[in-house]
Amino acid sequence: MTTFDWWLLLPVLAPVLGAVVVLVVDIAVPHVILGHYVVAGISLAIASAGAVLTLRPPVGDGRATLCLPGSGAQARTCFYSVTGVGAGLQLAALLAAAVTLLLAAPLEPRGERDRTPVTVALLLAATAGAVGVVGARDLGSWLVTLELATLPVIALAALPGTRRALAGAVQLLTTSLVSFAVLVLAAACWYAATGTPRLTAAAVLGVTGAPQKGLLALAVVLVLGGIGFKLSLVPFHAWTPTTYAGAPLPVAVFLAGVSKIAALGALLVVVSALSSLGKAALVATAVVAVASMTLGNLVALRQDDVVRLLAWSTVAQAGWVVVPLVSVSALGVRASASYLLTYVVSTLAAFSVVAVVVRVSSGRSGRSLTSYDGLVRRHPLLGGVLALALTTLAGLPPGVMGVVAKVVALRPVIAEGWWVIAVVAALNAVLGVAVYLRWFRVLVARPTDAQAQAPVTAVPLHRVAVLLTGGLLVALSVQPQLLLGLLG
Amino acid sequence: MVLTLLLLVPALTGVVLLAVARSDRAESPGATQAVALTGSLVALLLTVVAITARPTVDVRWVPTLGVRWHLAVDGISVPLLLLTAALTVVVVVHSRGREPARDVLGERSAATFYACILLVETGALATFLARDGIVFFVAFEVVLVPMWVLIGRFGDEHLSEQTRADASGRFVLFTVLGSTLMLLGILLVTTRTGTSDLVALAAAHGAGLDRGTQVAAAVLLVVGLGIKIPLWPAHSWLPPAHTVAPTAGSVLLAAVLLKMGTYGIVRLVIPVVPDGFAAVCPYLAVVGAVATVWGGLACLVERDLKRLVAYSSVAHMGFVALGLASGTWTGLQAALFGNIAHGVVSALLFLVVGGLKERWGSADLEVARTALRDVSPRLGWSLVVGFAAALGLPGLIGFWGELLALYAAWSPAGDRPTGVFRAAVVVSLLGLGLAAAYALRVLRLVWVGGSSERWVTTLPQTGQARDASGREWAVVLLLVAATVAGGVLPRPLMATTADDARATVGQAGVSGRSGGGGR
């Protein structure tokens, strides 16, 4: 008999149900903006509770459900399985979705042009995809959930209908299609090599013949390429700055947070199934990681638009996220997930502050670096949180979490003896510091008189987002174990 | 408990000051300074308690990484802890009423200024207390952002924004490169041995690490820490940083931050990877010797007085490197003594030179000025003492470290190439000569009076050249006293570090005992 643990599936099902309820409510009672947010909040809270339930010890090798009947642990086929790392990623994705929702809240009534239900439903659907892909253990649901995490975001990016938004959305669409094609090809190779659609270690163990092994290696490289698009790894990064800058800010936040977690979650499903990556995939990982860091940092150094700066910083940080995967082990997987979560929390904090500043300053000027002159003076909370977020991204105290994340990310690299990568990563740590201190310097500069007079005020919803992410950063900097322990 | 408190007090004082600096209510500079002074005094008191009680803290911090919050005090860290805590009090006392950038940034910036000083102290104390490799690395990084703010935001107001940003940026980027390389070395050792506990690693003396790993780790650690020390040729960040930094920043930078590099070598390299360090030593000795000459030559032609003192730091750190490289107990003692000596002397020099720059408006040596012995005899004599100590005059604190370093390097540990070391000693002697030359050059120009072209002794007074008085004179006098005391009575300081230095060299230096026994 097939097992079905509903609470294990709760993190996936709750957002989906939430999306459906939002759409139904919109039909029944139009123009109830607040209601949609309440529904979304409740569904995310239920989903988080499910993830926390999954995390409760003992997690062991993970909890599985949707298992087909079979004799013995080896023969059992489960279609959904969450490890400690997976549940940690799910929790982070739900939190990132909640912050995105806070920032996406419409603050001015827009009457007939209001798109709240659509926005909220799309956000919830994409979140369900991101959470689901972490647990997917067969090619079909893996591909479907991964695309579910991507496609709604394209719609969200295009919703404003402006030229810039459409340009960004089209680029994201094209990229996603290419990425999907590559991933489908990867899935085909995987199926041909292993003879089973299952993404498990047992499936890989069955591969014996030389041609099959070659096909499997090809599948892994293709997966890396396909996921590379979503993670903004060089050379698949080109869409990132255009889309971030063109899309509404909350969509950029979603892309930087939930989408990245979905992409890494999908990658880790495949990596966890392998006992070794094979030489081609290892070299590809190393080259892609190093290229991402270097190019991302170098271009970010020259950005004056903070959203573009954060976009290029995403490219650079994506390199740091995949660099631990040169060690195909539980160590590498955990390190990669830890680094990603650190990046997500600090980027969300930075974006929350940017959202406030953009709202206060008229037009697009809130996105230029000069709008942040003396922010620590003008608004201590915003300035402080942004300063902490930037130092975390740079890996400098007081952002101790960022320092620990760098340690975590470099440890597998050193353990495997990849010296060239380690030294290039060290150089990139320096470049990264240059990137973020450039922004930090603006924060502690003297505000111009006009700026000093114009007060910076955050609306309550934004304030909650800033406090939530900022508080999380402070807690993690005092006790990094909170995050590392979450991932087992 | 005391140790954690020792770190919390300056850290929390700094955070409180930052919070005050950001609030909108008007702030009285007296209260700000009082808070900072209280914080630094309590920290000094706790340091003294910690030094006498020698407590240990060892609790879990990040179990996933096997990192423990392990702090302890031993003979090697005692002088450095005391130096850090005492100099923080000195700079806080000295800065009262002369907080930089007040006119430009407004009254409230004073709190940020003091907060940065206290945060630098926190990082330095944590570095000297840490007994876990990863905690050491984190502590090492703590000083960066506050020091960067001190240089970039509170730096010399006469310079352009761009110059200050360049100097502070260069400081941060060089140091981050150094510390990241150091991190690679630490990670190499910890992944191969399975522990990052420095006490356990020091006790193992490199057991369980093959030679290749040891050499790789030693290279990474020495290069990384060498940037911080700074060793020639990685010193190019230091002169601009010193030129731009305010007096308090310069004092902390020279007297405390540079020591973190040499301390790192003593703590992380010598006992942990002894064989690897032995392989690196000849290069370290050569680099040290070159640094003494390079620094001396730069000082001979340098026009800016602060920059000149910075180059003399490079030369002095060369002697310390030479002592460390020798691998003997005497050499290590010399290096540790030289470290403290340089801390005291450079603090004295930067206080005096900073005071002069404040009075003159610049630190250009080519400008003809009234002789210092005529207008400000107190500052003048302090400058004489400082430069006399810098040139290694017997009877002053600078003498012992340099003499012993040369002595130790002449007969290095058995496994070191004697020829290379003797050549390094000969080169360093040249450096010693250069030190005398540049010290006398400065004193002739500034103290005796007159520019290099014209001997002018009776110029009209430029600006208000007041002599030091009050707080400034008190702190300068304190450092002059320390300079003399260390020179006349080197024994207490030597005795403090003796046992732990012997344990550190341990099996690493075979001839260590015979070399050091003579003293």
What percent of chain B is predicted at pLDDT more than 70?
91
Residues of A in contact with B142 (CB under 8 A): 397-398
Q: For B62, which of A406, A426, A484 is closest by C-beta distance? A: A484
Question: How far is Cα B483 from Cα A238, in angstroms, rounded to an integer?
Answer: 61
Chain A residue numbers touching B177 (CB-CB < 8 A): 426-427, 429-430
In a domain, A300, yes or no: yes
Chain A interface, Cβ < 8 Å to B: 334, 376-377, 380, 383-384, 391, 396-398, 400, 403-404, 406-408, 410-411, 414-415, 419, 422-423, 425-427, 429-430, 433-434, 437, 440-441, 444, 446, 479-481, 484-485, 487
Chain B positions contacting chain A at CB under 8 Å are 19, 22-23, 60-65, 104-105, 108, 123, 134, 137-138, 141-142, 144-145, 148-149, 152-153, 165, 169, 172-173, 176-177, 180-181, 183-184, 187-188, 190-191, 216
| Cα B192 from Cα B194, distance rounded (Å) | 6
Size of interface A-B (CB pairs under 8 A): 98
Q: Which residue out of B162, B187, B195 would a mutagenesis test of the A interface target, given it has the greatest number of A Cβ atoms within 10 Å?
A: B187
Residue B179: predicted pLDDT: 92
Contacts of A434 in chain B (CB under 8 A): 169, 173
Q: Which of B112-116, B447-451, B471-475 is the least confident region?
A: B447-451
pLDDT digits (tens, 9 = 90+) for B332-377: 999 999 999 999 999 999 999 988 888 887 788 887 777 778 788 8
- Residue A192, in any domain of the structure: no
In this complex, do A433 and B173 lie within 8 Å of one another by their Cβ atoms? yes
Q: Which pLDDT value is given to residue B476? A: 92
Using alpha carbons only, give the angle A429, A432, A437 rounded to the nearest 5 degrees: 125
Whether the predicted pLDDT of B71 surpasses 90: yes
DSSP state of B460: P
- Asked if the peptide bond before residue B233 counts as cis, ω within 30 degrees of 0, the response is yes
Is pLDDT above 50 for B518? no
| Residue B217 C-alpha, separation from nearest chain A C-alpha, in angstroms | 11
Torsions phi, psi of B298, nearest 5? -60, -40
% of chain B with per-residue pLDDT over 90 = 57
Q: Are B335 and B494 in contact (CB under 8 A)?
A: no
Residue B181 to residue A426, Cβ atoms within 8 A: yes
C-beta separation of A130 from A149 below 8 A: yes
**Residues near A86 by beta carbon (within 8 Å), at least 6 away in sequence:** A62, A134, A135, A265, A268
pLDDT > 90? residue B515: no
B80-111 pLDDT, tens digit per residue, is 999 999 999 999 999 887 777 666 666 567 88
Higher pLDDT, A279 or B291: B291
Among A376, A406, A441, select the one facing B22 at the smallest CB separation.
Answer: A376
Burial of A288 (0-12, 13-18, 19+ CB in 10 A): buried
Stretch (H or E) spanning A401: helix A400-415
Say if A241 falls within a structural domain: no
What pLDDT score does B251 carry? 93
Which of A398, A414, A433 is facing B176, going by the closest CB pair?
A433
State both tokens at A327. Answer: 């060690």
Please give the pLDDT value at position B459.
47
Question: Which pLDDT tens digits describe chain A residue by residue (488 residues)?
Answer: 577 888 888 999 999 999 999 999 988 988 788 888 899 999 999 999 998 888 877 666 678 888 877 655 555 678 888 888 899 999 999 999 999 999 988 766 666 667 888 899 999 999 999 999 999 988 999 999 999 999 999 999 988 888 888 988 999 999 999 999 999 999 999 999 988 888 888 888 888 888 888 888 899 999 999 999 999 998 888 889 988 988 889 999 999 999 999 999 999 999 888 877 677 788 888 999 999 999 999 999 999 999 999 999 999 999 999 999 988 888 889 999 999 999 999 999 999 999 998 888 766 577 888 888 888 878 888 999 999 999 999 999 889 999 999 999 999 999 888 889 999 999 999 999 999 999 998 888 877 777 767 777 888 888 999 999 999 999 999 999 989 888 86
Half-sphere exposure of B269 (CA within 13 A, CB side): 35
pLDDT at B8: 92
pLDDT at A363: 62
Show residues of chain A in contact with B22, CB under 8 Å: 376-377, 380, 383-384
Inter-chain contact B64–A423, Cβ cutoff 8 Å?
Answer: no
Q: Is residue A348 part of a domain?
A: yes
Whether A427 and B64 lie within 8 Å, measured CB to CB = no
CA distance B141 to chain A (A): 6
Nearest Cα of chain A lies from the Cα of B197 at a distance, in angstroms, of: 15
State whether the Cα torsion B205-B206-B211-B215 is positive or negative: negative
Residue bearing tokens 């926005």: A119
Determine phi and psi for A195, rounding to 5 degrees.
75, 10
In whole angstroms, give the CA distance from residue B294 to residue B296. Answer: 5
At B76, the pLDDT band (50, 70, 90 cuts) reads: very high
Q: Do B62 and A480 touch (CB under 8 A)?
A: yes
pLDDT of residue B511: 40
List chain A residues with CB under 8 Å of B176.
Answer: 396, 429-430, 433
Element (H, E) at B476: helix B470-488
CA nearest to B242, candidates B229, B225, B254, B230? B254
CA distance A257 to A177: 21
Could you write out the DSSP letters of every residue in B14-36?
A: HHHHHHHHHSSS---HHHHHHHH
Helical spans, DSSP H, in B198-328: 198-204, 211-228, 238-244, 247-252, 258-264, 274-301, 305-326
The answer to ipTM > 0.85 is yes
Among A403, A421, A423, A487, the residue to mutate for chain B (most B Cβ within 10 A) = A403
Q: Show residues of chain A in contact with B61, CB under 8 Å.
A: 479-481
CA distance B2 to A486: 31
Q: How far apart are CA A81 and CA A137, in angstroms?
A: 7
Q: Which of A457, A300, A473 is nearest to A386 (CA)?
A: A473
- Of A411, A419, A474, A433, give the one whose Cα is nearest residue A316: A433
What's the burial of A455, exposed, middle or buried (CB within 10 Å: 0-12/13-18/19+)?
exposed
Helix (H) or strand (E) holding A59: none
Alpha carbon distance A227, A233 (integer Å):
8
State the average pLDDT over residues B458-467. Answer: 53
Please count the other Cβ atoms lying within 10 Å of the Cβ belonging to residue B415: 15
Report the pLDDT averaged over residues B239-245: 91
Distance from CA of B189 to the nearest CA of A (A): 10
Q: Which residues of chain A are within 8 Å of residue B173 when distances are taken between CB atoms?
A: 430, 433-434
d(CA A198, CA A14): 25
Residue A159 is assigned to a structural domain of this protein: no
Name every chain B residue with its beta carbon within 8 A of the beta carbon of A380. Answer: 19, 22-23
- Determine the distance in angstroms separating the CA of A430 from the nearest CA of chain B, rounded to an integer: 6
User: How many domains does chain A contain in total?
Assistant: 1
Whether the predicted pLDDT of B506 surpasses 80: no
In this structure, the dihedral spanned by the alpha carbons of residues B404, B405, B411 and B413, taken in order and rounded to 10 degrees, is 120
Residue A44 near residue A101 (C-beta atoms within 8 A): yes
**Mean pLDDT, rounded, of chain B:** 87
* CB-closest option in A376, A410, A423 to B187: A410
Do B187 and A441 make contact, defined as CB atoms within 8 angstroms?
A: no
Residue A23, in any domain of the structure: no
Token representation of residue B67: 């990192």
Say which of A334, A396, A423 has its CB closest to residue B145: A396
| Set of chain B residues whose Cβ sits within 8 Å of the Cβ of A396 | 141, 144-145, 176
Report the residue of chain B nearest A375, measured CA to CA: B22
pLDDT at B26 over 70: no
B221 contacts in chain A (CB < 8 Å): none
Q: Residue A339: give the domain boundaries.
A: 277-488
A469 domain residue, yes or no:
yes
The pLDDT value given to residue B28: 66
Tokens of A107: 């603050």
A30, part of any domain:
no
Residue of B180, B181, B225, B237 to mutate for A, most A C-beta atoms under 10 A: B180
Q: Are residues A484 and B64, on separate chains, in Cβ contact within 8 Å?
A: yes
Residue spans of beta strands (DSSP E) within B63-168: 67-72
